[in-house]
Structures are given as structure tokens and as C-alpha cells.
Amino acid sequence: MAWEEAAACGGFDPEIFFGNTAADERRAKAICGTCSVAIDCLGVALSSGMDFGIWGGLNERERRQVRRRNPGTSDWRALIEERGIRRQPVRTA
């Protein structure tokens, strides 16, 4: 997939995105916040039902909420763009 090659996370240990602490989540989301293809990543995670990790800047709970609020959606990428579903700004301090 072409978008994966452009992903900001490519140079990081994948374990960062599957951490167990709030600090791990903040770090992963900060990386997603710099990514030019986060929308593509989030769309794939929503359409494939990824249950673990940070994808496109959202954690498991946040993705479940998006799925629950938008039943029957077939084009997640379009919904993300149309409704402004984006990764939330994360404080790094």
C-alpha cells in the first residue's frame, strides 16, 4: 500500500503504538499528529475492525465510538474527511 510507505510511524518501533500506559499513548498519538496519511491509516483501522493499538491517532475506545456512532458506513475514509473525525491534539508536556 502506497500510504504505508509515507506513514510517519515507519521509522519507529511498532510497540510504541501498542503500549499500556497513558505516556505510551501520548507518544504514539504525537507521532500520528505529524503524519500526512493518518486519515488513510484510520480508515483502514475502522474498516478492518482493528481492536488494539493507536491507528490514525485514535485508540481502541475512540475507534469503537466512531463505529458505534456511524453504523452501516462502508467508506470510512470519506466519513473521516466529511465529518472531520480526526486525531485529537495531544499535550506532550
Q: Please write the tens of the pLDDT for every residue from 19-76.
A: 989 999 999 999 999 999 999 999 999 999 899 999 999 999 999 999 999 998 888 9
Number of domains composing the chain? 1
Q: What is the pLDDT of residue 89?
A: 43
Task: List the domain range (segments joined by +) for residue 43.
Answer: 38-88
Q: What are phi and psi of 39, to 5 degrees?
A: -65, -40
CA torsion 83→55→3→43, rounded to 10°?
-40
Task: Please check whether residue 77 lies inside any domain of the structure.
Answer: yes
61 three-class SS:
helix
Task: Please check whether residue 74 lies inside any domain of the structure.
Answer: yes
Q: Which position has the higher pLDDT, 93 or 71?
A: 71
Enter the pTM of the model: 0.84
Task: Please check whether residue 17 lies inside any domain of the structure.
Answer: no
Q: Which position has the higher pLDDT, 55 or 3?
A: 55
